[in-house]
């Protein structure tokens, strides 16, 4: 009788261990959110967070430039002329470019 109860306990332990192993294999490899997909999503999330930080910095720069430019009409004209090559009527604008066909003034900002 004693061996029978031990046998039942041993069988029960094996059942739980086997069930756990099957569940672990299912979760790690067969599920829709398996370990490979989770790791790929984490890497993608890190890349997107880096891109988000870069874009937020650009937003801060643009807001700063907007506040400087739109507060002063003379600065607005200067900004429009430099950024968008705008001109007044009957005025000609000459842009000096380098060998790569890039405006020379843009090199100062870089």
- Each residue of 28-68: pLDDT tens digit? 888 888 888 989 999 999 999 999 999 999 999 999 888 88
CB 15 within 8 A of CB 22: no
Does the structure show a pLDDT above 70 at 5? no
8 HSE (CA, 13 A, CB side): 5
pLDDT of 1: 43
Structure tokens at 55: 């874009």
- Alpha carbons 110 and 106: distance in angstroms, whole number: 7
Average pLDDT score over the chain: 81
- The DSSP bridge partners found for residue 103 are 97
Select the more confidently predicted residue: 1 or 68: 68
């Amino acid at each position: 009788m004693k061996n029978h109860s031990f046998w039942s306990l041993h069988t029960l332990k094996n059942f739980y261990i086997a069930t756990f192993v099957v569940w672990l294999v299912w979760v790690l490899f067969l599920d829709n959110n398996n370990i490979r997909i989770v790791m790929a999503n984490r890497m993608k999330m890190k890349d997107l967070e880096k891109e988000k930080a870069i874009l937020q910095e650009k937003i801060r720069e643009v807001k700063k430039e907007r506040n400087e430019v739109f507060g002063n009409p003379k600065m607005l004209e200067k900004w429009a002329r430099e950024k968008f090559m705008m001109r007044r009527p009957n005025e000609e604008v000459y842009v000096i470019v380098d060998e790569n066909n890039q405006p020379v003034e843009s090199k100062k900002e870089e």
